[in-house]
Structure 1
């Protein structure tokens, strides 16, 4: 069996240029009119065709038409192409030669050609050639007054028509150039808009949050990759339902159609950080936070709402683990603290020296405060929120004095001079337990991070409408680069890490939170190696009526 290779047949398409088609159109129109005229003469006035000049003129016109159809005009310049209308003018002159130029109006075709495509000089040359043919005809034939008037009227009409066409063509060309410039500018603007749209899409696709615009008909517009992936949509047709299903809770009930975030966004509802559960096609659960924002739109554009969904599964699981850890740790700490408080009570029942009794009472008070903190954490279930106690009027000096007294032994052990400078009475409305926690945290840090032979000075005094408590030390200080982060959870300054002093990095953030809950502020002024000054400002209590 033999195999014969057959070469593919290529279809060649010949395309003509605009210039070639224009030449064909002018010449074929003239040829059609000449043929119609010749047939009319043959029927109405057959003797006219016996004139040699008329026959030569008709044949020449037809021959020029055939030549126009075969010449490759794209390879010929404008000057070469002008030969054809000039030859047409001569052929038309031969058709009407000796007949008072009754067919002279056929010159409109070549003259209109020059007026439409050539400059003024070419048009003047064409009109001059027409005038020369007219003069030659008048001189070689006996022309009466009526025929002469006809010739003059013909020249005037042809000149007027040529000038009118020339001006119209110039205006058309100018308008075409204007349209081209405007089209080029519009195209450039459109390309810039497209480039900007591509950049915006790249930015949106780089985001981890899912983003979509929802119109009032519920259509999802402008989806980014994160939204498509999260909801399991088909990138080729995002109008089809996704493979992920929304639930009100993990293994709960699927959301009704009207409760789905996209449907609510289509109604124009505005909501923020509403959580729901998403079950994807791979059998995984996701916690999703959904929010909507109103979008500005032009009068001609449809109303749309921006829908933003974030996968917060990792954050929720981390928070749950943190709460579990906090609850477990605090629960385990409660047992040894109970033993400490119990045995301290037993020791206080014995006959002890006054100095020993004072120290045991400080231990008992500190242990009881720790028990209360643990109890509040357990009651809050490991959450950041703590159980708020009623506030009462207290003198800030007494709280600060109690804190200073409890840290005197630690300061003495580290050869740090701890000094309290109480001023005038400084009443505040506060949760005494919480404010004591703040003072303990800050004084403890000051003593802990101050080297031997250093000083810690605590001052309490009213200033205007504020109670001002300052804790100034000559310790290791905080570097400038660490100052913006000192209130961040678990953050420890570089100077603290280098000193090798243990710590959790939580005390400053907790203290500021408590102070702000009391309507106050906590300010820090520090430099590495030059000590730290902490300033607490709290509103003074209003005077009580008798």
Structure 2
């Protein structure tokens, strides 16, 4: 319909325009037939039937375009194709047999009734009677024989078949059109929903206090929210660029060491790595910020890699607060250690004088004060170790069995007071490169915990074993044990389980965290197995390397 200047599809037009366009082909065909009739049968222009047909087709065409068919009952416009049969009958009566092609105009109202899709049986009946009216119109007013009526009966049959064929095609096209319209509505709804979800996602991403980058499967940045854009700008060098991640100011957790290009977050995400809580610093100078970065790869419906999501959380204030806390703990611990050392020294002198005076009550009182002062000094030392954040080793060739034996002897009085027997199992000596003071601290912490968390008494077993490449130390008790949830957090600083708190067992939760740091500084590992009510076994594995190699690593 573009040649008529109409850019819309036929079914999208108003009913009035569809009726007018359906009538137009017949009107044009009649106009074309006028000069043909004039050349072949000029006398037809004097025939009232021919003139009536021309007048009626003109009126019907005007009415088809002028009347508001939408306001009438549904098949009201059928009056046009029904009267078109009468128009064609009048014209055919006037021009036959000289212009036989006039009979072919019957297909126009037949097609019209077919495409309407309304009351197909009624439309079929109208097709038959309309066709009979046209083909028999020349016989009206005469006395035709039955043979003359029968001779033209083939035309209505053909028109009926044409009508049926057009009806089938129309119904099929209508069904396809309805299906297309339904799909079009679904697509529009899906598009609208997608736009709404995209707007919602954009609003959420720009509202949250977390930077987000979405990488496509080819590694390019598909999305970056406002929060991350600000952080991104902070990390870029000065100048017009263009810049890549390798050019950004990204530093290791110490805040000073530049991060290697292949270890930067987007580079790892492009390698399809999944990681969590990776600490780094971005920016330079006073604007430097600390970020916790996590990444997860995405997969499509077939399981193939489809990009990654990288999240950046700003933890600058938390890191500064932790640094301030560590500085405070270190400062206070240093201030406390000097007077405590002095107090312990004077208590030793006072205890010696009490022994010379043979005053048992004074000795007992001074002994309690001395033990508590020493305990407080150990706590201060633990706080200093925690605040320093690192463990420095002075390695030397030592016997692990001797270290364990000394630790057992030191813990024997406390074990005896608690009704606990300490048993040492060391069938063969193990010699390696260890820091004597730090390993003594490890043994004291493990044995002290074994005694402390065995309120019902029992046996604490110390084992020294030699593996293929490692020295193995085990401390086993028969105490209260731990749940699986407690075991996952037992090495966290300041952690104390609910059972320990309920039993009012003293402690601050630093010992095991410090023990792990010392063991890892030796290049080893520490693990545990435990069951509630059945005790706990800590297992320490220390690699048996040469002193020179270990000293360079520990430094």
Give the TM-score normalised by structure 2: 0.68
CA contact (8 A) 1:270 1:294 kept: no
Structure 2 runs not aligned, ≥5 long: 1-11, 249-260, 270-277, 357-362, 547-555
Listed one character per residue, the Cα deviations across residues 154-201 of structure 1 (whole Å, up to 9, x for unaligned) are 657645544443333233223223323443554565566557656765
Could you say which residue in structure 1 is the equivalent of 2:275?
Answer: none
CA contact (8 A) 1:519 1:538 kept: yes
Q: Given the alignment of the two structures, is residue 488 of structure 1 paired with residue 492 of structure 2, yes or no?
A: yes
Q: Given the alignment of the two structures, is residue 388 of structure 1 paired with residue 393 of structure 2, yes or no?
A: yes
Could you say which residue in structure 1 is the equivalent of 2:127?
Answer: 127
Structure-2 change in CA distance of 1:98 and 1:49 (3 Å)? closer
Q: Give the Å deviation of 1:86.
A: 0.9
CA distance, structure 2, for counterparts of residue 440 and residue 345 of structure 1: 22
Listed one character per residue, the Cα deviations across residues 223-248 of structure 1 (whole Å, up to 9, x for unaligned) are 335335x45xxxxxxxxxx9x54378
Structure-2 change in CA distance of 1:201 and 1:316 (3 Å)? same
Listed one character per residue, the Cα deviations across residues 421-471 of structure 1 (whole Å, up to 9, x for unaligned) are 1234254445443332223223333444565xx425221246895543213
Q: 1:534 aligns with which of 533, 536, 539?
A: 536
CA contact (8 A) 1:269 1:292 kept: no
The alignment yields a C-alpha RMSD, in angstroms, of 5.2
Structure-2 change in CA distance of 1:77 and 1:292 (3 Å)? same
Counterparts in 2 of 1:78-227, with a 5 A limit?
A: 78-100=74-96, 102=100, 103-118=102-117, 120-133=120-133, 134-138=135-139, 140=141, 158-159=159-160, 161-187=162-188, 190=191, 204=205, 207-213=208-214, 221-224=222-225, 226-227=227-228
Counterparts in 2 of 1:298-337, with a 5 A limit?
A: 306=309, 308-336=311-339
Listed one character per residue, the Cα deviations across residues 94-124 of structure 1 (whole Å, up to 9, x for unaligned) are 1221432632222221111012223542442
Structure 1 runs not aligned, ≥5 long: 1-15, 232-241
Q: Give the Å deviation of 1:48.
A: 1.0
Q: Given the alignment of the two structures, is residue 469 of structure 1 paired with residue 475 of structure 2, yes or no?
A: yes
Structure-2 change in CA distance of 1:456 and 1:195 (3 Å)? farther
CA distance, structure 1, for counterparts of residue 292 and residue 172 of structure 2: 63
CA contact (8 A) 1:426 1:460 kept: no
3-state DSSP of counterpart to 1:21: helix
Structure-2 change in CA distance of 1:70 and 1:273 (3 Å)? same
CA distance, structure 1, for counterparts of residue 105 and residue 141 of structure 2: 21
Q: Give the Å deviation of 1:313.
A: 0.7
Listed one character per residue, the Cα deviations across residues 499-539 of structure 1 (whole Å, up to 9, x for unaligned) are 55542222233334545652342233334xxxx72312245
Could you say which residue in structure 2 is the equivalent of 1:9?
Answer: none
3-state DSSP of counterpart to 1:222: strand
CA contact (8 A) 2:454 2:477 kept: no
CA distance, structure 1, for counterparts of residue 336 and residue 466 of structure 2: 43
CA contact (8 A) 1:61 1:91 kept: yes
Q: Given the alignment of the two structures, is residue 421 of structure 1 paired with residue 423 of structure 2, yes or no?
A: yes
3-state DSSP of counterpart to 1:210: strand
Q: 2:56 aligns with which of 55, 60, 67?
A: 60
Could you say which residue in structure 2 is the equivalent of 1:6?
Answer: none
- Structure with the larger helix share: 2
CA contact (8 A) 2:209 2:227 kept: yes
Aligned residues: 485
Give the TM-score normalised by structure 1: 0.69
Could you say which residue in structure 2 is the equivalent of 1:436?
Answer: 440
CA distance, structure 2, for counterparts of residue 515 and residue 274 of structure 1: 26
CA distance, structure 1, for counterparts of residue 318 and residue 23 of structure 2: 81
Q: Given the alignment of the two structures, is residue 405 of structure 1 paired with residue 406 of structure 2, yes or no?
A: no
CA distance, structure 2, for counterparts of residue 334 and residue 203 of structure 1: 52
3-state DSSP of counterpart to 2:175: helix
Counterparts in 2 of 1:39-54, with a 5 A limit?
A: 41=37, 45-54=41-50
CA distance, structure 2, for counterparts of residue 42 and residue 203 of structure 1: 78
CA contact (8 A) 1:270 1:291 kept: no
**Greater Cα offset, 62-71 or 400-409:** 400-409
